[in-house]
Chains A and B, each alone.
Chain A
Amino acid sequence: MAEQPLPERQSPLEPDYHPGSHGNFEHGVDVILSETRPGSILQLGAWPGEEKRLIEVIRKVTGLALPDGAGGGASSGARAVFGFAPGKFTVVDEAEGLAATFAGVITPAIGTLTDLSHGRTAIRIAGPKAEWVMAKFFAIDFALPAFPLGAGRSTNHHDIFAQIQRSGADQFDIYVFRSFARSFWKALCHASEEVGYEVQ
Chain B
Amino acid sequence: MLITCPYCGPRDVIEFTYQGDGNRERPQPASQDLDAWNAYVYDRLNPAGDHNEIWQHSGGCRAHLRVVRNTITHEILSTAFARGGHKAEGRS
Report the contact-size class of chain A (Cβ under 8 Å from the partner): 20 to 34
Contact code string B33-76 (vs A, CB < 8 Å = 1, else 0): 00000000000000000000000000111110000000000000
At the interface, yes or no: A84 with Cβ under 8 Å from chain B? yes
In the assembled complex, the Cα of A71 lies from the Cα of B84 at a distance in Å of 18
Number of B residues near A (Cβ < 8 Å) is 21
In contact, B86 and A87 (Cβ under 8 angstroms): yes
In the assembled complex, the Cα of A155 lies from the Cα of B14 at a distance in Å of 10
In the assembled complex, the Cα of A48 lies from the Cα of B89 at a distance in Å of 11
Which one of B12, B61, B83 lies within 8 Å of A84 (CB-CB)?
Answer: B61
In the assembled complex, the Cα of A39 lies from the Cα of B2 at a distance in Å of 37
At the interface, yes or no: A68 with Cβ under 8 Å from chain B? yes
In the assembled complex, the Cα of A182 lies from the Cα of B90 at a distance in Å of 34
Contact code string B1-18 (vs A, CB < 8 Å = 1, else 0): 000001111011011000
Asked if A156 meets B15 with Cβ closer than 8 Å, knowing A48-B86, A49-B85, A86-B81, the reply is yes
Minimal beta-carbon separation of A164 from chain B (angstroms): 11
Which one of B7, B62, B83 lies within 8 Å of A48 (CB-CB)?
Answer: B83
In contact, A156 and B59 (Cβ under 8 angstroms): yes
In the assembled complex, the Cα of A156 lies from the Cα of B60 at a distance in Å of 7
| Top-3 shortest CB links A-B | A48-B85, A86-B86, A85-B61
